Structure 1
Amino acid sequence: MTQHEIEATSSKLNLTELGIKTATIHWNLDNATLTRQTLQLGQGSLNDQGALCVSTGKFTGRSPKDKFIVKDSWTSDTIDWGDINIPTSEDVYDRLYDKMVAFLSERELWARNCYAGAHSEYRINVTVVNTTPWASLFCNNLFIRPTAEEHESFEKGWLILQAPEFEADPEIDGTRQRNFTIVNFSKKVILIGGSAYTGEMKKGIFSVLNFLLPYEHQILPMHCSANEGEDKDVALFFGLSGTGKTTLSADANRYLIGDDEHGWAKGAVFNFEGGCYAKCIDLSAEKEPEIYAAIQPGTLLENVSFFPGTDRVDFSDSSITENTRAAYPIHYIPHAKSISVGGNPKNIFFLTCDAFGILPPISKLTKEQAMYHFLSGYTAKVAGTEVGITEPQTTFSACFGRVFLPLHPTAYAELLGKKLEENPDVNVWLVNTGWTGGRYGVGRRMSLRYTRAMIHAAMRGDLDDVDYEAHTVFGVWKPQSCPWVPDEVLNPRNTWEDKEAYDRQALMLANLFVENFKQYADKASPAILSAAPRTSL
C-alpha cells in the first residue's frame, strides 16, 4: 500500500474538509486489491470461477420507502412529491450528515472517483466513500472508470457516503426506520446508512441523472438497454421485469451499448454506467452464455448460495433472495462497445408481457401512442411470480421506471415526444412477449423464435413497406405480414377460438389502461390523451 493510496489528500476532494479527519482512506484501488482485502477481512469468498461472493445482509434489494429527497428552495417546486419522491427537511439531512461524518472519521474507508455518463459533455463526477472494500469494487465495476490522466485532474462533483454499519434513530433523526437513503440535490450529496445493498448507490445516481439531465440539458433519461448494429443503427429496449428486455437486447450480432440506464441527447444515445448489474437467479451457460462467462475474477456476486461442500454457486437457489446479482465491468461482455455511446436510435421497442393475450405480438406506434404507452409502462404479473398471485395482474410503471423519476412522469413523456418530432425517422414498436390464443392459463406464451424474428425484421427495415391495420380497441398498427412469422400470429384476435371472448377481454384491459391513466390526465397534453384505447365497441 503506497502513501498515495491511503492519504485523503490524494484526491481533488479532500475528505478532511468534510470532517473525516482521522480515518485511514484507501483511494481508487483496483479490483484485485479490493478482492484480496475483502478475503483478508473475512467479508467474502471466491467461487470456482474466481468471482468474489458476498452477502449484503438484511437488505437484498432497494428500500424505496426509506429513500428521501431534501425539500429546499430549489427542489420544492420541481420535484414530483408523493409516495415515490418522499420529502425530508434540511434539518434531518444536516443532523444525519454530521453523525455519519463523525462515524466515518473513526474507521478504515475505501474511496474512489468515477463518472456517471459515457458522454463526456454530460457526465457527472462522483466520489464514493465506502466502509467495505467490496462496495468499492462494486462502484469500480458499475460506474465509469477515469483514466490515469483524468484521475489527476478530477474535480469535485457528487458525493456518496455509504455506511451500512451506521443506523439512524427514527425517533430522533426523522427517518422511517434505521436504514435510509437521502438525496440532497443542492449540496450534491447522497447519504446511505443501515443497508449494504449496493444497488442503492447505483439507483441513487440514476435518480440524480433523471432530474439533472432533463432539467438542465433537455436530455431524456431512460431505463432501458441499448445495442448497435454493424450499420451503426441503435435500438432501445424498454421493459419491466419478466418482459424479456435482457434476453432480447443480448444479440451476438450487435454491439452492447449498455443494459440498464441511458440518456438520449441531441444526436446521441449514451450509457450512464461502466458495467452491468445482472440478475442471476437460474443463470446458466446455456440460457445466458455472455452473462455466465462474465462471472470471473473482478466480478462481484451478491447473496448467492453454494452447492454443499463446494465453491460452485447454485444459481437456482433462491433461499436468500430471488434478487441475486452479478456486478461486472461492461468490457466483460464480448460485444460491448469500448465507448458506450451511439447515435440517435433507429428503433425503440416497448416490451410488455401481456398475460391477457390481447396486444399484438408487434405493432407500430404513432408519436402520440408512443407517449401514451411510455407513460403507461404496462406489463402483467402471472401466477408464480409472487406469493399470492393466482390470476394475471396488471402492472403499470410510468416510463418503465416510475420509482426512479424525480420529475412528474408527463415531463419525460413530453420529452420523448419532442425527440420523436425532431427525429421523424425513428420507429417505435410495442412488442407483446406474453400470451396469445387466450389469456394466461388458456392460451400459450408467445414463441421467442417469432419475437426475435419480428424484432430483427423491424431492425432490418422489413416492416417498412408492409400493410398495416389498426387494432380495433387499442388503435396500434399491426403489420399484416412479417418474414418467418405466420400471418395469423400477427393478429391476436385470430388466435382466439372465441372471438367474442377476445373482444370482451380487450375492453377489460382497455378500461384498466384508462383507469391507470387518470393519475396523469390533468398534466397530459391533448396529444397524449388522444391515444387512449377505446372502452366500448
Structure 2
Amino acid sequence: MDHSTLNTKTISLASWNIRNSTIHYQYTPEVLEQIILANGEGVRTASGAIAITTGKFTGRVPNDRYIVKDDITKNRVAWGTINKTFPMKSFDRLLLKVTSYLSGKEIYVRDGFAGSAIEHRKSIRIITEYAASNLFAYNMFIRAEKGELTNFKADWTVINAPGFKANPVEDGTQSPHFTILDFSKKIVLTGGTAYTGEIKKGIFSALNFQYPLEEDVFPMHCSANTDQQGNTALFFGLSGTGKTTLSADTNRFLIGDDEHGWTVDHQIFNLEGGCYAKVIHLNKAQEPAIYNAIKFGALLENVVVDEAGEVDYTDASITQNTRVSYPLNHIDKLQTPAIANAPKHIFFLTADAFGVLPPMARLTPDQAVYYFISGYTAKIAGTETGISTPEPVFSACFGAPFMPLHPEVYGNMLQKRIQDSKAQVWLINTGWIAGVYGKGYRIALEHTRAMIQAVLTDKMKAKSFIQEKTFQLEIPTSCPGVPDTILQPRNMWADTQAYDEQAAALIKAFNNNYHQITQEPQKPSTISFV
C-alpha cells in the first residue's frame, strides 16, 4: 500500500537509535484500519469496528512489570512483588536491543496527550510495531488539535514491540515479555506481548508516581460521570465489578471510564481520550452506551467473529477479558471537556462471590480509607485457570499493579479529598447474595442501578439506616426500586450459621491483608504518613 501521500510531516527517531525505518506518523483511524486489514492483523465486523486477536497474552502480565531503580525512584517507590526493581544498565542494554529490532521496519508513531486539565497535561509519544497498537493509542490518548504538534516534545515515550522477545538470561527479565518504566529517561518499554492495555497502563503507572509527588494530584483508577448541575460521581472497582457499565449512564454525562486525577482545587479530570471496556456478555438492552460505541474506529480484542462479521459477545473461548477501545466521542452523553467538580458521591464497587457483603452500605470516612486501601473483590470459578471456588482478591487502591507509591500515600490523599469535598462514600456489592457463588445468585443489574440512582438523586436522604452487626456497616432498610429483603444479606441465607462462618472468614482475610499493607517494614522515607 502506498502511504507516501498520507502525511506530509516527517520525523526522526534517531535519538532512540531507531534507524532506516519507514515511519508512519499520525495516521488517521481510516488509514490504520486499511493497513490492519491489508496486513491481516484484524477483520472488519458487522458494526464497522475492527477486531483483532492479541496472541498468547489476552491481558496484562503484572509479574513482568518492572521499574528502573535510580536516584528518582530508589527512596520513593514501594518496592516489592508488585513494583520490581530493574537495574539501569540492564535497561539500557535491553532498550538498545529493542530499538535495533525496530530499525529497518515499518513502524507507527503517534503524538498525543494524557490529562484533560491543561495545567496537568503530559505529552506522550507512542512508537508501535503494529498498526493495531497505534489505532489503540489513537483511541485511548487525548488527540492533538491543529497546531498542537508544532514543536511537539514528549514528556513520556512508549516504545511497544510485541514481536521482540527478551532473553531472560541475558536481559534480566523473568520471561520473554516485559513492561519497564524508566523515570530518568521518561520511557515505557514493552515487548513480547500484543495486549494493548500495557500501553495505557504503563503511562497510568508513570502518572501515579509523578502526580502525587510533583503536583499534589490524586490519581485514581476509577470511572466518573456528572449531571447538568455538576454533581459528580466516582466509581472505583476492579475488573468485573461494573465500573464501566455503571458510569455509562444514559441520564448522566460521562467524564471517563478508567483513569482520573483529583486536584487540590477541587477538580476531577480524565487522563484519557477514550474508553477501554470489557465486552464479555455485552448486551445492548443493558449497556446501550457501550454497545452503540462499537462502530467504525472502535477496536475489538479477542472476541469471536463469524464469517458474516457478527460478534458473539457471550463466547469466552479466547478469553473472559474481551475488550473494546473507542474514542470518548463515540459516547452520546459526554462531558466536554472531560473536567468536572469534585465528587458529591463516591462508590466502591465489589463483586463479593461469598454472598456476605450488603448490596449497599454508607461508609464513614475511616471506613472509606480502609475499603479503599483494601480494594476487595473476588475471583469466581471459570475466570482463571485453577479457580474452582471463590477466592478473595485484594488490590490496594483498586489498582495495585499501577501504583508505584505505598498504598497509604494514596489513602491519605483520598482521606484529605473526602474531608475537603464532604463527599459521601458508598460500598456497593455487585456480586452475590443468598449464598456463596454456586448456591446464591448475583444481584440484578437493575437493582444495582436503582441503588446508584437513588443516591445520585438524593432519595436516600429520607431513608433510615441501621448498623448491621457483622461488618459494622450502615445499611438502608429500604431503597426505591430495590426489594427490601435483599438489603440485609444475612436474612437472605437459609442457614444463618453458614453466613456467619463465611462472613468471619472474609473479615479475617480483610484484616490479614490490611495488616500486611500497613505493617510493611520499608515505607519510603521521603513520604510523610498521617
Query: Using a 3 Å threshold, how does the CA distance of structure 1 residues 95 and 232 change in structure 2: closer, same or farther?
Result: same
Equivalent AA in structure 1 for residue 98 of structure 2 = M
Tell me, in whole angstroms, the C-alpha distance in 1 between the residues paired with 2:320 and 2:490.
Answer: 35
- Equivalent in the alignment of 2:528: none
> Aligned pair 1:351/2:349, yes or no?
yes
- Equivalent in the alignment of 2:52: 54
Query: Using a 3 Å threshold, how does the CA distance of structure 1 residues 220 and 442 change in structure 2: closer, same or farther?
Result: same
User: Cα distance, 1:7 vs. partner?
Assistant: 5.4
- Equivalent in the alignment of 1:503: 500
User: Cα distance, 1:77 vs. partner?
Assistant: 0.8
Does structure 2 retain, via aligned residues, the 8 Å contact 1:7–1:25? no
Aligned with 2:166 (options 157, 165, 168): 168
User: Cα distance, 1:298 vs. partner?
Assistant: 1.2
- Equivalent in the alignment of 2:455: 458
Within 5 Å, give how 1:236-275 maps onto structure 2: 236-266=234-264, 267-275=266-274
Deviates more, 1:165-174 or 1:249-258: 165-174
SS of the residue corresponding to residue 120 of structure 2 reads: coil
Tell me, in whole angstroms, the C-alpha distance in 2 between the residues paired with 1:118 and 1:480.
Answer: 40
Equivalent AA in structure 1 for residue 514 of structure 2 = F
Aligned with 2:206 (options 205, 208, 223): 208
Does structure 1 retain, via aligned residues, the 8 Å contact 2:250–2:289? no
Q: After superposition, what is the alpha-carbon deviation per residue over 1:169-194, rounded to whole angstroms, capped at 9, x for unaligned?
A: 22211111222211101110111122
Deviates more, 1:376-385 or 1:434-443: 434-443
Extract unaligned runs of 5+ from structure 1: 526-537
- Equivalent in the alignment of 1:333: 331
RMSD between aligned residues: 2.1
> Aligned pair 1:402/2:403, yes or no?
no
Extract unaligned runs of 5+ from structure 2: 524-530
Tell me, in whole angstroms, the C-alpha distance in 2 between the residues paired with 1:243 and 1:45.
Answer: 30
SS of the residue corresponding to residue 347 of structure 2 reads: strand
Tell me, in whole angstroms, the C-alpha distance in 2 between the residues paired with 1:336 and 1:250.
Answer: 10
Deviates more, 1:134-143 or 1:155-164: 155-164
Deviates more, 1:516-525 or 1:329-338: 516-525
User: Cα distance, 1:166 vs. partner?
Assistant: 2.0
> Aligned pair 1:371/2:373, yes or no?
no
> Aligned pair 1:277/2:279, yes or no?
no
Query: Using a 3 Å threshold, how does the CA distance of structure 1 residues 409 and 495 change in structure 2: closer, same or farther?
Result: same
Within 5 Å, give how 1:16-27 maps onto structure 2: 16-27=14-25
SS of the residue corresponding to residue 489 of structure 1 reads: helix
Within 5 Å, give how 1:69-80 maps onto structure 2: 69-80=67-78
Within 5 Å, give how 1:419-458 maps onto structure 2: 419-424=417-422, 426-458=423-455
User: Cα distance, 1:500 vs. partner?
Assistant: 4.2
Tell me, in whole angstroms, the C-alpha distance in 2 between the residues paired with 1:141 and 1:210.
Answer: 21
- Equivalent in the alignment of 1:127: 125
SS of the residue corresponding to residue 281 of structure 1 reads: coil
Does structure 2 retain, via aligned residues, the 8 Å contact 1:7–1:26? no
Tell me, in whole angstroms, the C-alpha distance in 1 between the residues paired with 2:481 and 2:40.
Answer: 54
Give identity over the alignment, percent: 47
User: Cα distance, 1:343 vs. partner?
Assistant: 0.8
- Equivalent in the alignment of 2:105: 107
User: Cα distance, 1:45 vs. partner?
Assistant: 2.3
Equivalent AA in structure 2 for residue 61 of structure 1 = G
Within 5 Å, give how 1:58-69 maps onto structure 2: 58-69=56-67
Does structure 2 retain, via aligned residues, the 8 Å contact 1:28–1:113? yes
Aligned with 1:520 (options 513, 517, 522): 517
- Equivalent in the alignment of 2:469: 472
Tell me, in whole angstroms, the C-alpha distance in 1 between the residues paired with 2:312 and 2:56.
Answer: 20
User: Cα distance, 1:319 vs. partner?
Assistant: 2.6
Query: Using a 3 Å threshold, how does the CA distance of structure 1 residues 133 and 446 change in structure 2: closer, same or farther?
Result: closer
Tell me, in whole angstroms, the C-alpha distance in 2 between the residues paired with 1:360 and 1:58.
Answer: 38
Q: After superposition, what is the alpha-carbon deviation per residue over 1:331-362, rounded to whole angstroms, capped at 9, x for unaligned?
A: 11111223211110110011112233322221
Does structure 2 retain, via aligned residues, the 8 Å contact 1:160–1:201? yes
Tell me, in whole angstroms, the C-alpha distance in 2 between the residues paired with 1:167 and 1:234.
Answer: 44
Does structure 1 retain, via aligned residues, the 8 Å contact 2:248–2:290? no
Q: After superposition, what is the alpha-carbon deviation per residue over 1:380-402, rounded to whole angstroms, capped at 9, x for unaligned?
A: 23333334433332111111111
User: Cα distance, 1:91 vs. partner?
Assistant: 0.5
Deviates more, 1:80-89 or 1:101-110: 101-110
Aligned with 2:145 (options 147, 152, 174): 147
Does structure 1 retain, via aligned residues, the 8 Å contact 2:320–2:383? no
How many pairs align? 519
Q: After superposition, what is the alpha-carbon deviation per residue over 1:425-460, rounded to whole angstroms, capped at 9, x for unaligned?
A: x11001122233333344333233332222111111
Deviates more, 1:206-215 or 1:170-179: 170-179
- Equivalent in the alignment of 1:180: 178
Tell me, in whole angstroms, the C-alpha distance in 2 between the residues paired with 1:305 and 1:472.
Answer: 46
Deviates more, 1:255-264 or 1:45-54: 45-54
Query: Using a 3 Å threshold, how does the CA distance of structure 1 residues 100 and 362 change in structure 2: closer, same or farther?
Result: same
Query: Using a 3 Å threshold, how does the CA distance of structure 1 residues 4 and 454 change in structure 2: closer, same or farther?
Result: closer
TM-score by length of 2: 0.93
Query: Using a 3 Å threshold, how does the CA distance of structure 1 residues 471 and 187 change in structure 2: closer, same or farther?
Result: same
Tell me, in whole angstroms, the C-alpha distance in 1 between the residues paired with 2:363 and 2:386.
Answer: 34
Tell me, in whole angstroms, the C-alpha distance in 2 between the residues paired with 1:439 and 1:323.
Answer: 23
SS of the residue corresponding to residue 447 of structure 2 reads: helix
Does structure 2 retain, via aligned residues, the 8 Å contact 1:7–1:24? no
Does structure 2 retain, via aligned residues, the 8 Å contact 1:190–1:204? yes
Does structure 2 retain, via aligned residues, the 8 Å contact 1:305–1:313? yes
Query: Using a 3 Å threshold, how does the CA distance of structure 1 residues 121 and 38 change in structure 2: closer, same or farther?
Result: same
TM-score by length of 1: 0.91
Equivalent AA in structure 2 for residue 436 of structure 1 = I
Aligned with 1:37 (options 18, 23, 35): 35
Query: Using a 3 Å threshold, how does the CA distance of structure 1 residues 497 and 188 change in structure 2: closer, same or farther?
Result: same
Tell me, in whole angstroms, the C-alpha distance in 2 between the residues paired with 1:437 and 1:317.
Answer: 28
User: Cα distance, 1:2 vs. partner?
Assistant: 5.2
Query: Using a 3 Å threshold, how does the CA distance of structure 1 residues 450 and 274 change in structure 2: closer, same or farther?
Result: same
Tell me, in whole angstroms, the C-alpha distance in 2 between the residues paired with 1:205 and 1:319.
Answer: 30
Equivalent AA in structure 2 for residue 269 of structure 1 = I
Equivalent AA in structure 1 for residue 327 of structure 2 = P
Q: After superposition, what is the alpha-carbon deviation per residue over 1:3-22, rounded to whole angstroms, capped at 9, x for unaligned?
A: 7936543xxxx422332232
User: Cα distance, 1:515 vs. partner?
Assistant: 1.4
Does structure 2 retain, via aligned residues, the 8 Å contact 1:349–1:431? yes
Q: After superposition, what is the alpha-carbon deviation per residue over 1:175-234, rounded to whole angstroms, capped at 9, x for unaligned?
A: 112222111011101111222211110110111111111111221111111111122111
SS of the residue corresponding to residue 321 of structure 1 reads: coil
Tell me, in whole angstroms, the C-alpha distance in 2 between the residues paired with 1:29 and 1:277.
Answer: 21
Equivalent AA in structure 1 for residue 294 of structure 2 = I
User: Cα distance, 1:27 vs. partner?
Assistant: 1.2
Tell me, in whole angstroms, the C-alpha distance in 2 between the residues paired with 1:58 and 1:128.
Answer: 22
Tell me, in whole angstroms, the C-alpha distance in 2 between the residues paired with 1:33 and 1:376.
Answer: 44
User: Cα distance, 1:329 vs. partner?
Assistant: 0.6
Does structure 2 retain, via aligned residues, the 8 Å contact 1:362–1:454? yes
Deviates more, 1:451-460 or 1:434-443: 434-443
Query: Using a 3 Å threshold, how does the CA distance of structure 1 residues 503 and 174 change in structure 2: closer, same or farther?
Result: closer
- Equivalent in the alignment of 2:302: 303
> Aligned pair 1:292/2:291, yes or no?
yes
Tell me, in whole angstroms, the C-alpha distance in 2 between the residues paired with 1:243 and 1:189.
Answer: 31
